[in-house]
Each structure stands twice: as C-alpha cells, then as structure tokens.
Amino acid sequence: MAGAGGGGNDVQWCFSQVKGAIDDDVAEADIISTVEFNHSGELLATGDKGGRVVIFQQELESKNQPQCRGEYNVYSTFQSHEPEFDYLKSLEIEEKINKIRWLPQKNAAQFLLSTNDKTIKLWKISERDKRPEGYNLKEEDGRYRDPTTVTTLRVPVFQPMDLMVEASPRRVFSNAHTYHINSISVNSDCETYLSADDLRINLWNLEITDRSFNIVDIKPANMEELTEVITAAEFHPNQCNTFVYSSSKGTIRLCDMRASALCDQHSKLFEEPEDPSNRSFFSEIISSISDVKFSHSGRYMMTRDYLSVKIWDLNMESRPVETYQVHEYLRSKLCSLYENDCIFDKFECCWNGNDSVVMTGSYNNFFRMFDRGYRQDVTLEASRESSKPRSVLKPRKVCTGGKRKKDEISVDSLDFNKKILHTAWHPQDNIIAVATTNNLYIFQDKL
Amino acid sequence: MSEEIEGTRPATDEATHEEQQEIDDNVISPEKAEEVKLKARYPHLGAKPGGSDLLRKRLQKGQKFFDSGDYNMAKAKVKNKQQLPAVTPAEKAEITGDHIPTPQDIPQRKPSIVASKLAG
C-alpha cells in the first residue's frame, strides 16, 4: 500500500530521535522495561532493569522550524528502586521497573507511580527556577555570619537561577504483595489506584501507605489446583468503579467495585470460544494475555496475546469485535520459541489518541500498526540504519515461504533477541516512542 | 505444507485410521506439527499442557533458598555427589534448595547511582 498506513490513509512515519548507547554489548541494567507518555504528552518516562527512571520533556516548537514538532530532551533522571534481598523468604527482589503510570497534573509539579516486583513509589518531579538570596545570618555560600557583624537588616528576595528539576519520593507503598506486581493503574477519581500481582489485586489511596484493600484474590486454597494467574489489570478511563484484569488463560474479567468489597465474582467475563480440535500443547501458553488497555473512549479494550491483538466491545463478552494477526508466521515456529523461552515474551500494546489505530511490537525490532478504520496494517522497523533525521520509514515485510522477494526478510532470519515489548503513543499527536532492548526511538508523522 | 513429520511414516503401505488422522491434523495445523516436534524431543514433558508447572515456576521466580530443612537436604545430596537428573530446557525446573547458600553467594548490593545511558 502507498504510504506507511496507520493513523489515516496517508500517514508517513519519520525518524525523529533515538536515545541510548550504540554499542552492541548491552548491560542488563540498561534494558528498557517500560515507556509511558504523561497525560499531555509533554513528558515521556522510561524505566529500566537497573531501577532507573529517565524523563524526557518535549521542547516547545521552535519558531525557526514550524514544520517540526519539538524534540524530547532529558528533563530528569533518578534511581527509583534498588535491588533488595528478602531474608525471611530467601527472595531476590529485582530493582527492575515493571510499570510507570503518570498522575493527571494538578499543580506545578508532576507525579508518577513507579513499581518493581514488590514496592510502588509515588515520585514528585518539581522545578526550581529561583532561590532566596540576601539572608541576614548566612553568607551566599552558606557559611554563617558572625551575628555581631550584622549592622543592618534586609529582606531576602527570590532571584532567578538555572532551572533545576528535582525528583523526590513522596510515598512508598510496600509489603502488600506476596507475588510479583505486574500492573498499576491510576483511577479516574485521582484518589486511588490499583496494583496487581499474579494472584491478587489491591486498591490503594494515594495518600495512605500503610493500608491497602484487597479487591481480587484468585489464590486457590490448595496451590496444587492453581490453573491461571493474573497477567494485567487496568481501571476504566472514566468509570471509577470499573476495572478489568486479564489472565494467563486468555480471559478478561470486568469488575464493578460497587457490587461488593471483594470482586472475586466478575461482572463480565470476556472469552473467545476455542475450537477444541485445534487445541495443542501451546494453545494455553499463546493465549495468555500479556497486556490489556482500555480505549481512550472507554467503550473498547484491547488485549495482546502472543500472536495477535484483539479489540473487545465492553458490551459483548462472547468474542472480540476485531482480531489482528501480529506475526502469524511464528505459529509454525512454536517449538523453537518454546525452547528459547521467547514464547513467554510479554508484548504490550497501545492506542493512538483517537482510538483509530493500535500498535504493538514484534521481533527483529519490528513493530506493527493496525488502522481499524481503513483496515490497513503496516510493519516498521526501529533500527540505526533507518535513523537519518526526518527520513521516512519504509514498510517491512516478512516472507513466509517460497520465493523471497527483494527487501523481504525470511522468518528464519529474524533476530529473536531484538524484541520490541514496549511502545507508547502520544495522547494527541502522531508521535510514538518505541523501545528496543536498550534504545528508545521516537518517530513522528511527516508534517 | 511440506513438513516432514518424524516417526509417523507408516511401516506398511496402508496407514491406519489413527495415523492418517494424525497426518491430516499436522497438515492442517502447524501448531500441532510443532507439538509433535516438541514431544519428540522431550518425551517426559508434562501431560498437562502449559499447566501448573509453568505457573508455579512463574510464582517462584527469584526464590533461591527455601528453609533450613531444604538446605540440609540439598547439602546431603551434594555430599553424596548424586547425579542430578538432566534438566532440559523444556522442563524449566529451577529447583529451589539445590543451591547451598553461603554468605559469599548472597548477592552483594549492586552499586547504584550509575546514570542511565538514555540520559547520556
């Protein structure tokens, strides 16, 4: 198809920026584990396996280059979580940031929640661009003056200074999860948020750290009977009583917190019926949902399983309304993908601002976009080779058998170590952030 | 599909009904063909597809040592120099308790405050 599809019939995606080191030898700490735009899109946060958060800020559009949107430059970086060892349970607690979620902005400061496997932290990011000067008892460098030398009094005044961005932990929400936290989600009431681990979901108040309410508990009395785990959870974007959680068996449950304190009984169960004759050893593994995201409208939700992306209408539980194949050619490679553990990779997915296009990652640093309205899809690549400023990305194609055309890549040549698990879409504009193993690519549409 | 299926080529000219069904299944479904491949390589793979073993492994991620009883059992095992069963990748068993914890083995606090290369 002409153009690169996605986001309308004629959107062409161009390289904008890439962050991170070029060297091939990737330190484990540098592996990007989460990417998230804030609600205005002005800020872009990344978390990595080393427990660090880096926040980029979009520069205001330059008058010199009206055709370009502002670039994203480093705004703040801090160590969010540190490695811990739980001596009581003999458990290593990784510092890897599993998720970052921004709070809607209420005042001059920005707030985000970041979580590792066990502990959620609320961080305040604030700007300081002035400082008080002219103290009576202190010199400018901080040394105390001898009070006997003070002969006149003056009123200290605020003087401008170079912008300083400070990140400080305001709340630490700990000791509420026995299992590993996979999701956090801020409620539309801006007062509460949920955190989900493999078997339980807890509800927190953003102000209160020593207490949380358990709202879902799927732990069986006898662990031998364990058949499924929670894989992701999210609050509805505007109904503060509603949330969903997905499972390793490919089901999604919608719960209403008004119905009861413990939401073990779902209000809705979304499950696509399976053809029993097609069942194989791999069926359950590849049906495990790795991500669930509500549309901005709140009318739909999207799920990602190993091979596909599904769009569900909240009013219809029996089957998804749309299914998009991400990399169906992998179905005949499941044996090797099981052996090298790739079959357990957890891909995320995201919506564009007006819910018309969805995006998800794949292998070989490929990522896919599906335009729901125009019924088009495109495969693009995040690579240093296509990284010339404002160069248009060329659609990629995987050849599944028979004759390989020029510019196509065969399934067996795909690099399964180059996986794009995390992608994010600016809430309003056609700007996307795509994370490869240790680099962050920013692409925009050609204006 | 021109997949060669291991071990299902019938010895006689006329395939039995079951074998023919299996061949049909594999021709129709690439997933089932992959399953046959996997079972051929790892015959001891659990009968329960993707079930409790994988889930339990997921829940136990990061658990190195269990308790003092486990410690003593594992110490005894190592003393007898028993040959541990070959752990194939497909079995995915990270046996808690086999590792004998010593102060040197407990992970040292990694040096923090190394700036992320994304901010460089």
3-state secondary structure chain A: CCCCCCCCCCCCEEEEEEECCCCCCCCHHHCEEEEEECCCCCEEEEEECCCEEEEEEECCCCCCCCCCCCCEEEEEEEECCCCEEECCCCEEECCCCCEEEECCCCCCCEEEEEECCCCEEEEEEEEEEEEEECCCCECCCCCECCHHHCCCCCCCEEEEEEEEEEEEEEEEECCCCCCCCCEEEECCCCCEEEEECCCEEEEEECCEEEEEEEEEECCCCCHHHCCCCEEEEEECCCCCCEEEEEECCCCEEEEECCCCCCCCCCCEEECCCCCHHHCCCCHHHHHCCCEEEECCCCCEEEEECCCEEEEEECCCCCCCCEEEECCHHHHHHHHHHHHCCHHHCCCCEEECCCCCEEEEECECCEEEEEECCCCEEEEEECCCCCCCCCCECCCCEEECCCCCCCCEEEHHHCCCCCECCEEEECCCCCEEEEECCCCEEEEEECC
Tell me whether residues B31 and A331 touch, CB distance under 8 A: yes
Q: Which of A288-292, A342-346, B68-72 has the lowest mean pLDDT?
A: B68-72
B contacts of A440 (beta carbons < 8 Å): 118
Q: What is the pLDDT, as a whole number, of residue A147?
A: 87
Q: What is the pLDDT, as a whole number, of residue A61?
A: 76
Whether pLDDT at B90 is above 50: no
Query: ipTM of the assembly?
Result: 0.73
B contacts of A338 (beta carbons < 8 Å): 38, 90
Q: What is the pLDDT, as a whole number, of residue B64?
A: 64
Tell me whether residues A280 and B39 touch, CB distance under 8 A: no
Q: What percent of chain A has pLDDT over 70?
A: 96
Mean pLDDT of A321-346: 96
Nearest CA in chain A to B28: A278
Tell me whether residues A278 and B89 touch, CB distance under 8 A: no
Reported confidence tier of residue A6, pLDDT bands at 50, 70, 90: very low
Q: What are phi and psi of A194, to 5 degrees?
A: -115, 155
B99: contact with A, CB 8 A cutoff: no
Contacts of B42 (CB under 8 A, 6+ apart): B88, B90, B91
Q: What is the pLDDT, as a whole number, of residue B39?
A: 86
Tell me whether residues A117 and B62 touch, CB distance under 8 A: yes
Q: What percent of chain B has pLDDT over 90?
A: 0
Range 4-33 of A in CB contact (< 8 A) with B: 19-21, 29-30, 32
Q: What is the pLDDT, as a whole number, of residue A206?
A: 98
A144: contact with B, CB 8 A cutoff: no
A199: contact with B, CB 8 A cutoff: yes
- How close A338 gets to chain B, by Cα (Å)? 7
Indicate the pTM of the whole model.
0.85
Tell me whether residues B49 and A280 touch, CB distance under 8 A: yes
Read off the DSSP letter of residue B57.
Answer: H
A346: contact with B, CB 8 A cutoff: no
Nearest CB partner across the interface for A85, out of B31, B33, B107 = B107
Reported confidence tier of residue A168, pLDDT bands at 50, 70, 90: very high
Nearest CB partner across the interface for B58, out of A48, A224, A229 = A229
Residue of A332, A345, A439 to mutate when probing chain B, most B C-beta within 10 A: A332
Whether pLDDT at B88 is above 60: no
Neighbouring C-alpha atoms within 13 Å toward the C-beta of A342: 19
Mean pLDDT of A202-207: 98
- How close B11 gets to chain A, by Cα (Å)? 26
Reported confidence tier of residue A91, pLDDT bands at 50, 70, 90: confident
pLDDT one-digit tens code per residue, A73-89: 999 999 999 998 887 87
Q: Which of A26-30, A48-52, B111-115 has the lowest mean pLDDT?
A: B111-115
Nearest CB partner across the interface for A19, out of B35, B90, B118 = B118
* CA atoms of A81 and A125, how far apart (whole Å): 16
Tell me which of A25 and A302 has the higher pLDDT. A302
- How close B17 gets to chain A, by Cα (Å)? 17
Tell me whether residues A282 and B34 touch, CB distance under 8 A: yes
Q: What is the pLDDT, as a whole number, of residue A172?
A: 98
Whether pLDDT at A273 is above 50: yes
Three-point CA angle A68, A74, A80, nearest 5°: 140
A278: contact with B, CB 8 A cutoff: yes
pLDDT, chain A, mean: 93
Pairs of CB atoms within 8 A across A/B? 133
